[in-house]
Amino acid sequence: MERCSCCNARLSGALTCPRCQANLTDVVSSEQRAQHLLEQAMQLWFAQESKLAIMVLSKAISYKKTPAAVIFRDFMVRQSCSKVLALLAQYKYKEAQQTLTLLRTLHPTHQLLVQLQGFTHYLSTRPYFS
């Protein structure tokens, strides 16, 4: 943390603001927790634990929405969309819906996720003709 969240004074690594005397221990701790969770989410993602990675990244973003977390979130969404399409091609609608619901916890307003969820719902409710 470079600046005080209360008065915007430069901090130079201090946990108490030199200008307004605000105690920033919890804020700094929250930033560190967010960074740790982001690193853990990346490790889980590359270990093929995508569902757990999504949950951990969602928690990291709830602590602090850093540029790195947003970039990784967008990467995960792009990668997961192709997996969802593969599930739809295999008629695995329930699994596709679960994956999309989980992804939307990361980015509720992502246009492609919203459209894919609507399409998945449509496919899962229509009668199947062989």
What ranges do the domains of the chain cover? 25-125
pLDDT at 130: 40
pLDDT at 18: 86
Round to the nearest angstrom and report the end-to-end CA distance of the chain: 60
Burial 11-34 (b: 16+ CB within 10 A, else e): beeeeebeeeebebeebbeeeeeb
pLDDT in tens, 64-97: 999 999 999 999 999 999 999 999 999 999 999 9
pLDDT at 5: 82
User: What topology is assigned to 25-125 in CATH?
Assistant: 1.25.40
Q: How confident is the model at residue 2 (pLDDT cuts 50, 70, 90)?
A: confident
pLDDT in tens, 5-46: 888 888 887 788 888 988 888 888 999 999 999 999 999 999
Per the confidence metrics, is the pTM higher than 0.85? no
